[in-house]
Amino acid sequence: FVLAHVHIKRAAAVANREAGWLKPELATAVIDACDRILNGELADQFVVDRFQAGAGTSHNMNSNEVIANLANVTLGGERGTYTPVHPNDHVNMGQSTNDTIPTALRLAALAKLPRLCGAVTGMAEEYARIAARERDTVKSARTHLQDAVPTTLGREFGAYAWTLRRCVVRLEGLRPALCEIGLGGSAAGTGLNTAPGYAEAAAHELARLTGEAILPAADPAAQMQSMHDLQRLSSALRDLALELIRIANDMRLLASGPRTGLGEIRLPPVQPGSSIMPGKVNPVMFEMLNMVCYQVLGQDAAVSAMTQAGQLELNVMMPALGSALFDAMDWLTNAVRAATARNLTGLQVDRERCRAFLHASVGLATLLNTRIGYAAAAEIAKESEHSARPVRDLVAERGLMSAEEFDELVLRAARDGVVAG
């Protein structure tokens, strides 16, 4: 966010120089000062807390003053004198907190999106890789946590990959809206004290600096009143977190055991699981991912509250709103990467256990529906459950088909969903 705001100051200096409003030597000093900050200098001089005066006026002036002081030193002046470069008259020329802060929020969000989308795409690719490897690993599906029809672990993990990719598509789809900036709207979206063509020139320079398709907003005032686009991003993060929670819970359940749980998958050990139980290994990275995602849900609730807190011409909750949003993006990026690298990569499948559960499943009776009807198949399911005998044996005993034919039926159903013919 700090660097995004400095990018805005740099772009404004370029635009005001082109308009003839800012003297070339002053513009050059401001631009050089911004470049030094963007290269890592004076980071310790941006001291304003995330929880600050409404709208971000404190941070805007922090940026103006640091840049002005650095520019003045470059021009042979002294810090604190604000001559020849003044923080308000020159660094903040044509700008207001009203338009620079929401623009900085958008630029910062755009800058963070590639890392997040890359992390989620990486997890999706790992699920897809496992799905391809295990496309022929048959197992029992479970609905309501009860035995269901045959499926494959490849299909199960492939669905995880598809879901995560869909989340990335939604996140990427927010880029065009985030690229529309209200810079040039000045105070309350009026464009007061801005040079002709300033908004377009500043947006063009920001596009060059960031590599994003930055454009002036059709209605700058709306960008100050409404945080809708940032709320949409927060909602997309929430939806991603919800899917990650669900998937992480499935991983923990499938890895439960090793003797008294499902144990269909084995996760790589990361650390000892207990300070009292020797040899215990826990799915710690997916537990960590759960905790991060629950916190992201809280951040979204905060963003939602602050989005609706805007009044009249300005939403003054922007600093805390941005803080909550960026924390959520960073947490998700780091947690997804860690879970992928430490628990998903290296995941092993116990194919024999999957097959054993499948052959013990009462849900196999469903395969008989098209052959003997639902009622007769239900009777076999009940007998299998009460007698603890496999459906396979009961089918062969009743002469419906041989055990080998039933095995082939199960395999076809698991892989292709085909039970007839």
Amino acid at 243: E
**218 φψ region: left (φ > 0), alpha (ψ -120 to 50), beta (else):** alpha
Structural contact between residues 20 and 94, judged by C-beta atoms closer than 8 angstroms: no
Residues 6+ apart with CB under 8 A from 352: none
Are 1 and 105 contacting, i.e. CB atoms less than 8 angstroms apart?
A: yes
- Active-site annotation, residues: 274
- Nearest by Cα to 65 from 5, 138, 129: 5
Task: Name, in order, each residue with C-beta under 8 angstroms of 412's C-beta and a sequence gap of 6 or more.
Answer: 418, 419
304 CB-side CA count, 13 A:
10
360 contacts 389 by C-beta, under 8 angstroms: no
CA atoms within 13 A on the CB side of 80: 0
- For residues 409 and 375, give the distance between their C-alpha atoms in angstroms, rounded to a whole number: 20
Please enumerate in sequence order all residues whose Cβ is within 8 A of that of 356, keeping only pairs 6 or more positions apart, or say none. Answer: none
Q: What is the DSSP string of 114-182?
A: HHHHHHHHHHHHHHHHHHHHTTT-EEEEEETTEEEEEEEHHHHHHHHHHHHHHHHHHHHTTHHHHTEE-
Instruction: Outline where 281-317 has alpha helix (H).
Output: 284-307
H or E element that contains 324: helix 318-339
